[in-house]
Chain A
């Protein structure tokens, strides 16, 4: 009976402002995808389940899980907080509905109410919180009305049946948590996985019981032997020797335990550092990405400031000439005045000429007309070619031609006709000032263009800021709680190498010294036991004692072997399944040929490696690849189980470190393993797209395995108080 989540709804829960109806996600069996950019409610969605199962939420600042009881202010929507009047109450909650099998449907509501006491809304002390009892309702699928469940243990059971606690770690994942699900360096971790899925615990119990019985049988036998052979020195000697060796064996076993502990600690440290190293590497990658963008932002900001600083320069710069705005009339007036001025000047000059030489200064012929060569010819030939008449030297006609020819020379000797000749002053002004008054038509455009340029600069600054914010969010999301983020790469490497050294030393001690010793002791004990048996063959001991001991001895050995076989078989099965899933996950990627290999360590832990097609172990792959490996095992743990897996997968950003090829494989693979999966992702989001999803998102939308797809939105550039998540159902 698989549990299928049908609906989840929020009320004033973080950014999910408003009542349940406004924040409802209808979900179906199969793959459900919720696409959201950073800050658009992915982790908040996931928090609803943390609340449901554990009464906790994940504090996004500290990355620690905290009790809901102490985080009311953080959980309650800022907009709701702001809108609530003092002394008024506001509700916050999550509601979900799920069906189990074909008969029952359940509804679970977790909520609290908050009464506003004063206006500083982010202050814990401004609110009085009241956590409401969890509300659980139940109905048969054929009916429509829910009936409340009152019994507390039934309520708990209903919540647990959505995902059983033992399976939550495989079914309920958040980002890098996948890394923590299975730590192959720890025996307990893989054992726990195997335990959850097989009846290996029973084998262990049988083995423990049989060991106990065997001990007892031996003691009983010994008592009989002693009773019958009180005088037998050789027998006593043998028993003493056996005890002596057993003591040494105990001692070695003790040492083995200690060295195993050393090994485990070192291995654990190495694995922790592995993770940190991967995240440090990723962090560095993001930092490298951030650096040039930050530089660009600085430059743009400087450009923007300089730009603003220089706006007023445009009034006085001839290229912009804003100061000329509105002076059109003046310039026209100047032109008119100038014309008048020239005209009056001309008159003045003419008048003066007339006064001084009334007969000589009225030239109707323009200067150089006729040209001086022609005039010279006329003088030489004593003939006017203009009127084709004789002009003999000495006559008025001849003199007139000479005068015409001498015009330019006369002009140079012309007397000034005004006291202050300002003609050039006015002329030059008009010529020089052109850059300003020629711009009249374009000034308004120029102002508009300047404003546009400002907008453009602002936009590119905003864009860069957003890029930085997005990368910083990514960077924050890979910071693992509890680690010193600033631990340098050098320290990490040195600690890492130290852990490996200690691990190898422990391994050497265990394998080269202690285990051989233990084996020798065990062999010796076995030989002595045989000797003791032989020594007493002649003695008259009831056969039951001997047989009893022998049978139990064999049974104990058999049960130990059976337990080991089951464990080994399970590991093999896991390996097989993990490889199937891994192949599916990477099939869209260009990785080929390699396999995942599980190898048992002397201490019982499992080495888990990726072996390439040449049989070499691949180390130091990307974080995404490492996670993919582990995810394969998580899915293997589920699929290797004989029965069908009955719980939905809830995953927040499981693929944040994957490449696109992996992502596609991921969605295909989960649909084979989980009856239902609800996956919150950022990677499919594309702001510029009309549907807000990228090409891969669109491919998945068409995929029959994907049953529903939602996109979350938050208003761009909104104040925190107005940050409200809304959603569009694409499928």
Chain B
């Protein structure tokens, strides 16, 4: 497997989210569809990335429930196309290789099957932090702790 194939393998994955997050998704990732009370994200992946960022920084890792209680969405390769956003995310993710449980150099000697496992662990890593971040957002929202401002999400990041 060369560099290009390895990257494509990751980009072809569709991370999942718990169905219990649908209300929070609908509340904050709605741009252009309806005027909402809160500052909005555009596509789902934006909120998802934001959730991941929040989870990772706050150390909120929460595994997804069984597959039938989750839902997938856009494959990573289609997140913010023509942008280096995903590259940056991958950089962040690969800096956590320890936590995910692989070694960069080892990857180069793995069989495809082993590599697939690593990629699947990477996706799980994304999913569980995104899930943790989104759960945090959801609780804050449900408990009316969110102050509605255009800078809500900037402020939340700095907390």
Chain A interface residues (CB < 8 Å from chain B) = 308-309, 311-313, 315-318, 321-327, 330-331, 333-334, 337-338, 340-341, 344-345, 348, 418-426, 428-430, 432-437, 447, 451, 454
**Residues in A neighbouring B92, C-beta threshold 8 A:** 327, 330-331, 334
Q: How far is the CB of B39 from chain A (nearest CB, A)?
A: 6
20 A–B contacts, CB within 8 A, in A order: A316-B46, A316-B49, A321-B88, A323-B50, A323-B85, A324-B88, A325-B157, A334-B91, A341-B105, A345-B105, A420-B2, A421-B2, A422-B3, A422-B107, A425-B4, A426-B94, A429-B87, A432-B84, A433-B87, A447-B151
Contacts A311-B39, A420-B109 known; A326 to B94 CB distance under 8 Å? no
Chain A residue with minimal CB distance to B109?
A419
A312-B41 contact, Cβ under 8 Å, with A341-B105, A437-B88: yes
Whether a CB of chain A sits under 8 angstroms from the CB of B67 is no
Interface range, B side: 35 or more
- Which residues does chain B contribute within 8 Å of A451, judged by CB atoms? 151
Given A316-B85, A420-B2, 19 more pairs with CB closer than 8 A: A312-B39, A315-B46, A316-B83, A323-B49, A323-B88, A326-B57, A333-B95, A337-B94, A337-B95, A420-B115, A421-B2, A428-B87, A429-B87, A429-B94, A432-B84, A433-B84, A433-B87, A433-B90, A454-B150
A422 touches B6 (CB 8 A): yes
Closest to A419 in B: B109
B97 and chain A: residue at smallest CB distance: A337
Give the Cβ gap from A398 to chain B, nearest Cβ, in Å. Answer: 39
B-side interface mostly: helix
CB distance from B61 to the nearest CB of A (A): 15
**CB–CB A432/B108 < 8 A:** no
- Taken together as a complex, chains A and B put the C-alpha atoms of A309 and B39 apart, in Å, by 7
> CB-CB contacts of B40-73 with A at 8 A, as 1s and 0s?
1110001001100100010000000000000000
B2: chain A residues within 8 A (beta carbon): 420-422, 424
**Cβ–Cβ < 8 Å partners of A330 in chain B:** 91-92, 95-96
Q: Give the Cβ gap from B137 to chain A, nearest Cβ, in Å.
A: 13
Pair A316/B104 contact, Cβ less than 8 Å: no
Q: Are B50 and A420 in contact (CB under 8 A)?
A: no
CA of A325 to CA of B39, assembled, Å:
19
- A333 and chain B: residue at smallest CB distance: B95
Name the distance in Å between A557's Cβ and chain B's nearest Cβ. Answer: 87
A435, B86: Cα distance in complex, Å: 12
Asked if A312 and B3 sit within 8 Å, CB to CB, the answer is no
Q: Closest CB of chain A to B63's CB: distance in Å?
A: 22
B104 touches A341 (CB 8 A): yes
Of all chain A residues, the one with the shortest Cβ separation from B45 is A316
B101-117 at interface with A (beta carbon < 8 Å): 104-105, 107-111, 115
* B80 interface residue per 8 A CB criterion: yes
The answer for the CA separation of A176 and B121 in the assembled complex, in Å, is 82
Whether A312 contacts B108 by the Cβ 8 Å rule is no
Complex interface: chain B residues within 8 A of A437 (CB): 88, 91
- How many whole Å from B50's CB to the nearest CB in chain A? 7
Task: Give residues of chain B (12-47) contacting chain A, Cβ–Cβ below 8 Å.
Answer: 31-32, 39-42, 46
Chain A residues with Cβ below 8 Å from B108 are 345, 418-422
| A341 to B41 Cα, complex, angstroms | 37
CA A426 to CA B49, docked complex, whole Å: 21
- A419, B94: Cβ atoms under 8 Å? no
Are A425 and B7 also in contact (CB < 8 A) when A312-B42, A341-B104 are?
yes
- Residues in A neighbouring B74, C-beta threshold 8 A: none
User: What is the distance, in angstroms, from B79's C-beta to the closest C-beta of chain A?
Assistant: 9
Rounded to whole angstroms, the CA-CA distance of A423 and B104 in the bound complex is 10
CA A311 to CA B152, docked complex, whole Å: 10
Q: Which residues of B contact A313 (CB under 8 A)?
A: 42
CA distance A451 to B151 in the complex (A): 8
